Every structure is written in structure tokens, then in C-alpha cells.
């Protein structure tokens, strides 16, 4: 049985559904269901587990919707706590429209072999950035314990941002907000002035913005641009994927911008201490909210390192630092670009 807390009617015909997930620091993810008569739209679909399925199914049943009646499913981004039960819902509701951003859909791994290749590629790349072998092995073990080859969604409507998903009284605008993933999307309903901010904007924590072999470019630059793009949005209620509902979008955006400015400044201060350092060395010297570097789990160390790399890439793109490649060892380091003396 679902307790009342498992789903809340935020405004008439719009429900927030709490789904437990096996990620220690987060505990649960929210799905949102908008209804109009027999018509409906579900945003995100929990983690691929029995516990998650039971929670989502029982909340939906209490609202009066079964999986087979889900007409539209929007997947905010390609992370397992958001797409988890998408395939199950698709199987039970074969005519449902499944929306996803084209760029995240392009990253869908097709097979176990594809997944294994991805994990190997990721870890050898972390090696070139200075991660010691013993830790690489621990990280690899942690990745394999937490991630496995999940049944991935099969989106049948690929979006770019700017589209309207309309039914009954609802009209959801798709907002492309790359950064947390390359194809992260938020939804905005103008009539109710509600923003579904996904993992893009959370009320107290900042989403992981990572450089990785599948998101090269400048993820932090993309992320900050995406934040800026939402600053002028008329939103009175922000519904995130984790934590709690919040109200002041502009203030939260400014706080997150400030956080990254501080982080970039801290990175530069650490880099000023020696000529060239690997991303790994820099990460070990940064301050981490979840504790000292040594206290982080291998899983968290991996995320922290990829986040450090996103900041380094941003500083590189803005010509404040440069990459130094060792031709022999193929290892990569970073150094400040000295300002020309007057
Ligand atoms: Zn996510």
C-alpha cells in the first residue's frame, strides 16, 4: 500500500510521485503525472528495480492510472533513476509516445558489449588523467556493482527543444538544457507557470556536471549557458527530480552560478601551487562537500574527478589554463597560462 506521502497532488491534476532509488546520497527520485480526463503525461520513470516499480505502480493506481494507460512518457535525461522503468511502461502501453532529447537518445547503449566497452573506455581515460591503477580498479568495481546493462528506453519522439507537448489544458514546452547530460530537458507549462527542472536545477545540491568520453566538448560551459537561458523564465513553482519543491528560480540560479565561480577560482588557486598537475592531483586537493577526498567512496571519487575535469575543460576553453600531454606516457596534465608581463 502506498502511504499518502508517496504521491502528492501539487496543483489540481498534477501529481508528484516519490520513488525510492538505491543511490545513498539521494534516496528517491520524483516522477510527475499530469492528467486531463483520460489523457495523461508522465515525466520520468524511476530506477529499474522491483522496489521502484512497486512504488510507481501503486502511486499511479491510487491516482487511477495503470502503466497500460500512460499515453506519454517524457524522459528528462539518460540516467537510470529517470529512465528506469520506461521499457516496462512501453511494453504495457505500446501506443505511448516516449519523448527524449535527440542528443541523449544518441548515447543509448545497445548491448552488454557496448556497455562493457563504454566502462573500459571511461576508466582508461581516467587513467590518462592521473588516476593511480589501484584506484582505477576500485572505481571499475564500484561502476560494475552499481551500473549494469539496464533495459534502455526506446524513445519514439526525439526532441531538440522548443517543441510543445499539448493535450487538454496542458501545454508543455520542451526546454533543452544541456550540461548535466548532453540531452537534458526541462518542461515548462506557461499556464500554470510551473517548471519541471529535472536534475538541471535542484534546490540545495548542484547536479553533477562531468566531462567524460561520451560528453567531451565543454559541459560546464553548456551548463552555465543553460542556467542563464532559464533566468528570465516566468516560473512560480519549480518541480525538481530530487529533494523538495522550491519557488525562487532566479535566486537558485544565482546561487549555482556563484558555486561554480568559487569552484573555478579554487581550481586556479590549487593550480598556482605547481607548474603542471594532473586532473587527479587537482581533484584530491579540492574541497568536497561530501567529505575529504580520502573519505570519498571509489564511486564518489570517480564522479568528483569527472566534475573536476569539466571545470578544467571550462578553464581551458576560456584560455586560463592549458593542457600538457606527455608524448611518452600519454598522460595529460594542466598548467596555468601565465599572463604576458607588461
Ligand atoms: Zn541525473
Tens of pLDDT along 66-97?
999 999 999 999 999 999 999 999 999 999 99
Confidence band for 340, pLDDT divided at 50, 70 and 90? low
Query: The domain 4-108+152-247 belongs to what CATH superfamily?
Result: Ribonuclease Z/Hydroxyacylglutathione hydrolase-like (3.60.15.10)
| 163-216 pLDDT per residue, tens | 999 999 999 999 999 999 999 999 999 999 999 999 999 999 999 999 998 888
Alpha-carbon distance of 127 to 258, in angstroms, equals 31
Ligand 1 centroid to 204 CA: how many Å?
15
Ligand 1 centroid to 269 CA: how many Å?
29
Mean pLDDT for 234-242 is: 98
Please give the model's pTM, rounded to 2 decimal places. 0.94
Q: Is 63 exposed, middle or buried (0-12, 13-18, 19+ CB in 10 A)?
A: middle
Residues of the chain with CATH 3.60.15.10: 4-108+152-247
Mean pLDDT for 145-167 is: 89
pLDDT of residue 1 exceeding 50, the answer is no
Ligand 1 centroid to 126 CA: how many Å?
20
Nearest to 184 by CA among 222, 146, 155: 222
Alpha-carbon distance of 36 to 144, in angstroms, equals 42
Sorted by sequence, the CB contacts under 8 Å of residue 91 that are 6+ apart come out as none
Ligand 1 centroid to 278 CA: how many Å?
27
Sorted by sequence, the CB contacts under 8 Å of residue 301 that are 6+ apart come out as 135, 139, 283, 293
Ligand 1 centroid to 150 CA: how many Å?
15
Amino acid at each position: 500500500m502506498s502511504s499518502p506521502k508517496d504521491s502528492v497532488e501539487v496543483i489540481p491534476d498534477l501529481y508528484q510521485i516519490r520513488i525510492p532509488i538505491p543511490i545513498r546520497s539521494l534516496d528517491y527520485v520524483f516522477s510527475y503525472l499530469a492528467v486531463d480526463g483520460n489523457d495523461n503525461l508522465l515525466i520520468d520513470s524511476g530506477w529499474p528495480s522491483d522496489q521502484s516499480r512497486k512504488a510507481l505502480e501503486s502511486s499511479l493506481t491510487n491516482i487511477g492510472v495503470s502503466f497500460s494507460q500512460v499515453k506519454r512518457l517524457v524522459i528528462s535525461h539518460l540516467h537510470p533513476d529517470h529512465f528506469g522503468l520506461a521499457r516496462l511502461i512501453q511494453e504495457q502501453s505500446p501506443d505511448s509516445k516516449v519523448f527524449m532529447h535527440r542528443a541523449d537518445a544518441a548515447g543509448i547503449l545497445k548491448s552488454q558489449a557496448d556497455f562493457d566497452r563504454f566502462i573500459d573506455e571511461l576508466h582508461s581515460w581516467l587513467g590518462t588523467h592521473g588516476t593511480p591503477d589501484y584506484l582505477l580498479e576500485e572505481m571499475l568495481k564500484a561502476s560494475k556493482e552499481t551500473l549494469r546493462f539496464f533495459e534502455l528506453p526506446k524513445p519514439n519522439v526525439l526532441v531538440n527543444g522548443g517543441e510543445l507537448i499539448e493535450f487538454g489544458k496542458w501545454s508543455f514546452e520542451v526546454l533543452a538544457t544541456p550540461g548535466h547530460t548532453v540531452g537534458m530537458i526541462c518542461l515548462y507549462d506557461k499556464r500554470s507557470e510551473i517548471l519541471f527542472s529535472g536534475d538541471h536545477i535542484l534546490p540545495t545540491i548542484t547536479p553533477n556536471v562531468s566531462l567524460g568520453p561520451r560528453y567531451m566538448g565543454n559541459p560546464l560551459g553548456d551548463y552555465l549557458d543553460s542556467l542563464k537561458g532559464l533566468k528570465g523564465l516566468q516560473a512560480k513553482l519549480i518541480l525538481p527530480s530530487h529533494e523538495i519543491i522550491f519557488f525562487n528560480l532566479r535566486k537558485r540560479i544565482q546561487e549555482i552560478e556563484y558555486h561554480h565561480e568559487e569552484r573555478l577560482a579554487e581550481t586556479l588557486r590549487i593550480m598556482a601551487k605547481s607548474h603542471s598537475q594532473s586532473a587527479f592531483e587537482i581533484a584530491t586537493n579540492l574541497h568536497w562537500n561530501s567529505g575529504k577526498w580520502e573519505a570519498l567512496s571509489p564511486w564518489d571519487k570517480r564522479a568528483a574527478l569527472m566534475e573536476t575535469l569539466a571545470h578544467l575543460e571550462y578553464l581551458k576553453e576560456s584560455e586560463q589554463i592549458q593542457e600538457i600531454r606527455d608524448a611518452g606516457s600519454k598522460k595529460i596534465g594542466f598548467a596555468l597560462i601565465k599572463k604576458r608581463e607588461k
